[in-house]
Amino acid sequence: GAVVSQHPSWVICKSGTSVKIECRSLDFQATTMFWYRQFPKQSLMLMATSNEGSKATYEQGVEKDKFLINHASLTLSTLTVTSAHPEDSSFYICSARGTGEPYEQYFGPGTRLTVT
């Protein structure tokens, strides 16, 4: 149980375009989903926290107009990187938290974004 999927697993896009990444909890209801970014050889950096049906809470320094997060249902959250630039190239990982768990986050497999 507690499986989280991400789609796509990798994507290459041109500078200036937008990319949407989906995060789904497959066998549980995710009341909260988290979006992380990880640069090579660095730890996870939390970008934003989203609760189903409400606006996402962004971490300091993360542009909410650039990284659009939607959490429309208890099983789906999306991250859209708008007007992507090469410096947005990174490994994006989502995680989901259900109810009744010891605050464990179940991670998706990640999405490798390369902006050319």
Partner 1 sequence: GQNIDQPTEMTATEGAIVQINCTYQTSGFNGLFWYQQHAGEAPTFLSYNVLDGLEEKGRFSSFLSRSKGYSYLLLKELQMKDSASYLCAVVDSNYQLIWGAGTKLIIKP
Map residue 57 onto helix, strand or coil. strand
CB neighbours of residue 64 within 10 Å: 13
Map residue 78 onto helix, strand or coil. strand
Q: How far is the CB of 10 from partner 1 (least distance, A)?
A: 10
- Of 85-104, binders to partner 1 (CB under 8 A) are 91, 93, 102-104
Q: How far is the CB of 83 from partner 1 (least distance, A)?
A: 26
The CA distance from 14 to 28, in Å, is: 35
Judged by CB under 8 A, the residue of 11, 13, 46, 68 near partner 1 is 46
27 binds partner 1 (CB under 8 A): no
Map residue 68 onto helix, strand or coil. strand
Residues that bind partner 1 (CB under 8 A): 34, 42-44, 46, 49, 91, 93, 102-110, 112
